[in-house]
Amino acid sequence: MLNAADEMPLYCSKLSCRGVLRPTDFDTCVPLWDKKLKAVLPRFSTVEQPLLSLIEPGIIEVLLAYGLGEIPYESVSRLKFQQSLVV
């Protein structure tokens, strides 16, 4: 889930950081996020991943398979939280 119902402060060291995540960011940023992820995911296995132990093994398998060209990229748009699905 990458979209937030309320604004959330961001603590980033980048000069271009806006300092806040807004509820509308998901819809407006998905194309850029997809572009950036498609460019870097093939290098996932070649770069040290210090937080790897926090990722579920099944997700790691998907990341590696995408990096090897074994499966197609799936847009982060599928991760959008749908309030209507909450029971």
Residue 15: inside a domain = yes
Amino acid at 6: D
Residue 1: inside a domain = no
**SS3 of 26, please?**
helix
Query: How far apart (Å, rounded) are the C-alpha atoms in residues 54 and 49?
Result: 10
Looking at the structure of the chain, the number of domains it has is 1
In the prediction, which pLDDT does 51 show?
Answer: 94
Residue 2: inside a domain = no
Query: How far apart (Å, rounded) are the C-alpha atoms in residues 39 and 73?
Result: 11
Residue carrying the six token digits 């499966």: 71
pTM, 2 dp? 0.70
Residue 84: inside a domain = no
Q: Look up residue 56 and give its two tokens.
A: 């579920």
Pairing status of strand 20-21 against strand 8-9: antiparallel
DSSP state, 58?
H
pLDDT in tens, the chain (87 residues): 456 778 889 888 888 888 988 888 888 889 999 999 999 999 999 999 999 999 999 999 999 999 899 999 999 888 876 665 545
Residue 58: inside a domain = yes
Domain enclosing residue 28, as ranges: 8-76
